[in-house]
Amino acid sequence: MASTQKSGLQFSINNIQDYIMNKGLLGAIRNWIAMRKQRKEAEEISFHFSQFLTPVIANSDFKQDLSSKLRHDVYCEELHYEDCRDDGLESDEFDAYSKHALIQHIKSRTYAGTVRVISPESDKQLLPIEKHCLDSVLDHEYLPSNFPREDICEISRLAVPSAFRRRASDKFVGAATGTINEFIDSDKELRCFPFIAVGLYFSAAALCLKLGKKHAYMMMEPKLAKSMSYVGIKFEQIGPVIEYHGQRAPYYINRDMLFANLSKDFTFMLENIRKSLYAQTL
């Protein structure tokens, strides 16, 4: 009897072990631990981001030229999406009715990224998605023409210099806009750099809210949209991937969608950026 019970118990243990291995529960546990570790790191970065990096509205010709210079470095010289300009400044027709933001590295005062919000004021002022990619918007519920012109905008020309796109584990090199090695004194600071793109999207979101915009569009790579979803920014893809400065798809977001899935920690980061930008003049 005891032998039978022992045999049955051993059979159950073996079954449980097989189940765990076959169903991949060990892998799921490892993934959960990894996610917890990533979340803890994200919490720290969202808290410390404002210690090292700050958003700046490009509210002067000088700052707008800095934004255009960063765009030229990335879009013209590095990615070759646009032709290089003699003046080293990348610009287009949409800049005339856009607001620009920068992210500045506080210690070095070097600029680590830029983004713009295109804000049309009349039917003659089109969004890039309307002029170049309207056929790619297959979900007609989200067509820009469905909304008042003063309520729509487009986020575009997000650019982060290659030096600031390096991982914390990479050897950091001087940025083209100025050597900053001497100003980097902690791994904590380096770990914030991969989140500059998030900071730029938050800066754009803050600008949209400051401008009273209700509907925002973007043409971006699906992998970037997926990366943004990890911090809780859930964009709605409204059309297929097309060739437009690389493989990009049309996306849509509004205020409710922005805050619906944003984690507590990144809400804290967004609010810090929002407060900083709201204190600045457009």
pLDDT band at 268 (very low <50, low <70, confident <90, very high): confident
Residue 167, pLDDT score: 47
Looking at the chain, the whole-number percentage of residues with pLDDT higher than 70 is 77
Q: Which domains occur in the chain, in start order?
A: 2-278 (3.40.630.30)
Closest CA to 181 of 195, 164, 160: 164
By the 8 A CB rule, do 217 and 129 touch?
yes
224 near 197, Cβ under 8 Å? yes
Q: Is residue 121 packed enough to be buried (19+ CB in 10 Å), middle (13-18) or exposed (0-12)?
A: exposed
Chain segment 82-105, per-residue pLDDT in tens: 999 999 999 999 999 999 999 999
Calculate mean pLDDT across residues 158-167.
Answer: 81
The vertex-51 CA angle with 46 and 55, nearest 5°, equals: 80
Radius of gyration from C-alpha coordinates of the chain: 23
pTM listed for this prediction: 0.81
- CB contact burial 24-54 (16+ within 10 A = b; e otherwise): eeeeeeeeeeeeeeeeeebbebbebbbebbb
Least confident of 14-18, 113-117, 203-207: 14-18
Q: Report strand pairing: 152-159 vs 215-220.
A: parallel
The answer on pLDDT for 260 being more than 90 is yes
> For the segment 125-138, what is each residue's pLDDT rounded down to a tens digit?
999 999 999 999 99
> What residues contact residue 59 under an 8 Å CB cut-off, 6+ apart?
280, 281, 282
Q: What is the mean pLDDT of the chain?
A: 84
